[in-house]
Structure 1
Amino acid sequence: MGRLPFDPNRMRRAKQQAEGGRSAPASPSEANAASAAEGVLSVSRLAALIRGVLDEGLPRKVRVVGEITGARRSTHLYLALKDGGAVISAVLFASQLKKLQFDPRDGQEVVATGRVEFYEPQGRVSLIIEKLEPVGEGAAEARFRQLCEELRTLGWFAPERKRPLPTFPRRVAVVTSPTGAALQDVLITMAKRCPAVAVAVVPVRVQGESAAREVVRAIDFVSREHERLGIDAVVVTRGGGSPEDLAAFNDREVARAIVDCRIPVVAAIGHETDTSIAELVADEPRATPTQAAMRLTPDREALGRQLDALSRRFRTDLARTLRYEHQRLAAASRHPVLADPRGATRLGAGATRDRPRRSRRRRPRARWPPRPPGLIGCGSACTPRIPAARWRPPASRLDARAARLLREVTHRFDMRRAAAASLGERLEAIGPGAVLRRGYSCTLRADGTAARDAADLVPGERLTTYLAPGVGRGRCGQGLGRRPRHPGPNARKAQGLEPAGEAPREASPGNRPRGRSVGPLRPR
């Protein structure tokens, strides 16, 4: 380097040292100058030299054509321009951003006019854009759209092709970089939500030339070994970055590996604004790694609440069932058979002894035929309707149907016969014959009407009395009829109602009729 210019401060310090006084501290500029004199540059001096070289070696304004990538807005628009060999940062300030007639987006090819500056606090060379003009769609964006159309034609984006995710996965494989923040987000989220779900990390590169091949090999490995390893789902993820950083997940082979995977795949690539081919073909796309972990992991607290609700419901149903069965048991214990089994046995024995007598008493009499008249001609009525008269099926089927018809007719006859017998027993039980057998009698006048009241009888009237063993005939005595009491034998003789020397025609006390029976009767 050449000789440094005259510095008064340096001369003042030398003079103070010669006089033996304490020297003042050197300023940063003085230190830089001293360092430069010794051949060592400070960071600030090097930055100043770079800035000077750029200012002197480049024109005031340059025009650059390139493809927009990594565009993001705050107050200003920060982006990068790229081509096949390089990338340069650029910024469009808010004053110029308001004048744009289009909306800059990633993948769009533009011509930027501006100046190159070196920003010393960050050590960054940037293109300060003063004018931005659109040219058309960039090459990378065109390739992306062409691949999307091809895969859509193959049906890889179709919703019906995608598989449902497991509700309770045993283990989840995470295909990502082992040193990235995305893996930590997944592990922390899954540990908080449900620690019972195991995690298998499959380390791969997520950017660079070999990243796509490593991702394909990892997905194929998990697909082949998922049964042996107990893996039920796969998460393919990485953090945010520029489109160049995410290029590995826009590869056709990565999409093919996801489609051919035997278990469901969840893809979460980059930030929410990023879209990749891997997310489009995955069974469940998610915006961030945290959302992917939440989608695959059940919520421990929600499961606890569900278990509590089921437990309360089970206890309620169990208490209701026990209460109902207890009531049934109490009602059954009050039944006479269970309360006194020996008494029920004695009752059954008595009923068995009385059964023959009751059966004989309930037999239908000749006046009640055992079969209703409607069943007499049933057989003849069914004969013309036999299917054999109209249709001649094979012999085996005809025999089977004939046997079935015979069984049906016999069954119906038996049912009608049983019904008639039951009716006969009921008539026998409520008929007058059963009443007479219980010790009652029935007295009829000469005209066949029943004598219901002794006051209505006329002395000397002929009466017929029906008893259980037979029939008795006689006349109404003179003491009966409208008189309140019967006259004695002496009174009857005094009145001339009986001839002298003839025994009175009264029934003995043992043969005297009961109830409403009237008059002395003699059985035939």
Structure 2
Amino acid sequence: MSQLHFNQFDPQKMSGPAKVDNGRKRKKTPDHLTVGQVSRLIDETLKDHLPSTVRVIGEISGFRDRTHWYFDLKDSEAVLNCVAFASVARTTGFVPENGMEVVVTGRIEHYAKQGKTQLYARRIEPVGQGSLEIAFRKLCEELREAGYFDPRRKKRLPTFPGLVAVVTSRSGAALQDVLDTMRRRCPAVAVGLVDVRVQGDQAAKEIARAIRNISRLHEKLGIDAVILTRGGGSMEDLWAFNERIVADVLFRCPVPVIAAIGHETDTTVAELVADERAATPTQAAMRLTPDRSALSEQLFQIRTRLVRSMSGYVKHERQRLLAVSRHSFFTDAQSRLEIASRRLTNDAKHLRSALQSQAQQKSMKLAAVEQQLISLHPDQRLTIAKDRLSRVRADLTRALRVRHKTAAQQCTSLEKQLNLAGPGNILQRGYSITFNEQGRVIRSISRIKPGSSITTRFADGEADSQVISLRETLLVQHEKKAVHEEKSLPPQEESADPQMDLFTGLE
């Protein structure tokens, strides 16, 4: 049922005479009002007669998430429009759903543009079971992201535990169910009770302390597994097993933990974090305790298989022993020993011969290595280098002498050839050299003209003369003709007259 925590307001009082309120005097209402005047009048009335903050409880319907939240809050008597802006929606911690009962804290104002009177929410809180369910879901999401529910980290339950620690209340029915089941199935499994509160404000801390102590002392006490259990109840009664402190110690516990909290339909955070979950305390005891009758049957079958296997093995080995006793090694041992003795003697001879041969080879190799070491000795290497240097010096001296003699002979021959080809020798044979007035050698009649003065050099002197006339020889005419014919051929490099080059230095 929707409840408004404020003073009630009677609309009929609006038509009475004007009165003073909050130090202000109201104007007399005219015969007719505009829509805007009515809206302002409604807004003023709400502000004057309603507190600035109200808390309204009701059921959500028509929920719409459009950055801002728009929804109706209703009960069996009325419906109230509500708005939660984005800043409020981000801090709420859950998304409301249609049908959820909540308490909305905020202010009531009249929105003139749409003619609506709305509740502007500042805080939205779930009521009763809804708040616990939201907290449960939120914690489950956090633990799932942290890997608390990952099956890969969960430990396997022991097959034959020696000591099982039961964390529960001494006065609870769950303890009796566990003890009766374990006593009936296998009395050999020892049980240790860790008495804690399983309901109330201090229950979560006691449970966490108990699991923490078991984690610290399990090796010393020989605890192989833990049963965390209690009987059924409401979500509020089971809430101690939904606390983060309990989930943390179960996550870090090195001993396998099986949790059986409440009825089969109940689910707690402790059961989700534990290594295994059981629907009831009895089922948890059955999961940890082997069945005595099943163990007896299994032991009988193992004994039967073992006896059968051992009988077959003994029979097989007896047959093998009989077959071995019939072997010639045992029936004719003397002859086999003589054969083995002769074989041993032959092997000893072969071994001795092989060792001698191998020793001889090693000795030869050692002598070769010794000779090689002597040749590599520094004094020996120095002597060899000196001999080699003496031979090289003698060869080099002999080669230089031969080369010097050969070079002298070549110089003498070249000197004779040069004298034969020199200009002085040519003049001795009757040739002469003619110079112009500038003292240059005249190679052709084209270099002089009639009346020019020339000088002719002979072997024994010179003679000055004057050119009277010029005549070309028949040989020159033939040469000009040959030159004319050669013009039609590709040009070739002209070679200088070797005889005339001898006189170049005389110009």
What is the TM-score when the length of structure 2 is the normalising length?
Answer: 0.41
Structure having the larger proportion of residues in helix: 2
User: Of the two, which has the highest radius of gyration?
Assistant: 2
What is the TM-score when the length of structure 1 is the normalising length?
Answer: 0.40
